[in-house]
């Protein structure tokens, strides 16, 4: 039982140290945000700077035009729905199920862009929504 207590004490000290560093980093980020907010106001920004949505880093999964060309190649074989296209891409890349939501969103966005450009056509049939290349 003594070994367990000493191990827990050691682990708590490590986590407390990590927490202290993280709090210090968060405080520095808050100071930077406040400085940018003041600069925005000085430059004439009239809205509330806190209303600006936070942004995360974009994770690039595909090279330039890679997704578009992959979708076109998949639709040349046969009409397919967005889920099937995303599954083919994930299988070809060797990605797991944890990437499914992100890949599916990107496939849907790419299909919508291609439809606006006149490359793809959405076809509502008995099997639901299928995508095919425009004639």
CA separation for the pair 19, 105 (Å, rounded): 35
Tens digits of residue pLDDT in 5-31: 999 999 999 999 999 999 999 999 999
Do the beta carbons of residue 107 and residue 67 sit within 8 Å?
Answer: yes
The CATH number of residue 112's host domain is: 1.10.10
Nearest 10 degrees: Cα torsion 15, 19, 21, 27: 180
**pLDDT for res 127:** 62
Q: Is 82 domain-assigned?
A: yes
Do the beta carbons of residue 118 and residue 135 sit within 8 Å?
Answer: no
**pLDDT for res 20:** 96
Are 76 and 33 in a shared domain?
no
Whether 86 has a pLDDT exceeding 80, the answer reads yes
Are 78 and 104 in a shared domain?
yes
What is the span of the domain harbouring residue 24?
2-51
Are 32 and 71 in a shared domain?
no
Q: Is 95 domain-assigned?
A: yes
Determine the average pLDDT of the residues in 63-79.
90
Tell me how many domains the chain contains.
2
**pLDDT for res 128:** 67
Tens digits of residue pLDDT in 106-128: 999 999 888 888 877 777 766 66
Whether 78 has a pLDDT exceeding 90, the answer reads no
Are 120 and 86 in a shared domain?
yes
Q: Is 57 domain-assigned?
A: no
């Amino acid at each position: 039982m003594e070994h367990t207590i000493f191990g827990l004490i050691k682990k708590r000290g490590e986590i407390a140290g990590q927490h202290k560093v993280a709090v210090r980093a968060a405080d520095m980020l808050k100071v930077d945000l406040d400085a940018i907010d003041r600069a925005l106001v000085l430059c004439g920004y009239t809205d509330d700077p806190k209303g600006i949505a936070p942004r995360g880093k974009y994770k690039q999964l595909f090279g330039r035009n890679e997704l578009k060309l992959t979708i076109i190649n998949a639709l040349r074989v046969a009409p397919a729905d967005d889920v099937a296209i995303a599954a083919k891409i994930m299988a070809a890349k060797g990605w797991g199920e944890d990437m499914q939501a992100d890949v599916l969103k990107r496939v849907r966005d790419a299909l919508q862009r291609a439809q606006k450009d006149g490359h793809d056509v959405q076809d509502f049939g008995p099997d639901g929504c299928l995508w095919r290349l425009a004639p």
